[in-house]
Amino acid sequence: MSQVIIQLLPGKRLTLAAELLDLLTEEYDPHVELFDHFVQFLQDIEEGKVGPERRDILIRLILLQFVLLHEVGLRPRLSTCANCKRAFASDGREIYFSVSANGLICRDCEMSFPDKIRLSPKAAQCLADIKQFAQASEATLDEIEQVLIHHFTHILGRPPKMAEYVQRA
């Protein structure tokens, strides 16, 4: 089924989503919610409910990647510091993402996580509160997509095959 989806998908970002979906789920895994979400995404594109703006597709794909992480039990901790569990300041300043911590970490903990990536305040605010995606700029969404590719690279042990194309797109 995934081969068929890859051939039918219009964009490279969609190919990335299909690749991740394929790599992280077993052939007969009953990830019903995930596949429903993905099929709905494809239908929305076909019916013109998503896009054609790049920003719309980015938002949907980022959300799809979070659903995917959630479904396979690898959902990152984003609401509080993944290490000390303390709440973040609402201005989003000095927040980092760490693949080894599997989530956002605060400035008091970042020293313990050499793999951390410092986030812009806007990207950090979006990740900490998913509702903010609706207002996010394209630059913020691009930043979050890069963080997710980095995260999936760590989970898979190698970059997703399509990552280099997406990063150039």
> Residue 165's Cα: distance from chain center in Å?
16
Kindly tell me which of 74 and 84 has the beta carbon lying closer to Zn ion.
84
Asked if 106 interacts with Zn ion (CB under 5 A), we say yes
Kindly tell me which of 81 and 126 has the beta carbon lying closer to Zn ion.
81
Asked if 109 interacts with Zn ion (CB under 5 A), we say yes
Per-residue x/- mask for Zn ion, residues 65 to 104, rule CB under 5 A? ----------------x-xx--------------------
Give the Cα separation of 145 and 17 in Å (integer). 11
Give the Cα separation of 62 and 45 in Å (integer). 15
Kindly tell me which of 32 and 111 has the beta carbon lying closer to Zn ion.
111
Cβ(138)–Cβ(58) under 8 Å?
A: yes
Q: Which of 16, 38, 35 is nearest to 167 (CA)?
A: 16
> Which residues are near Zn ion by CB under 5 A?
81, 83-84, 106, 109
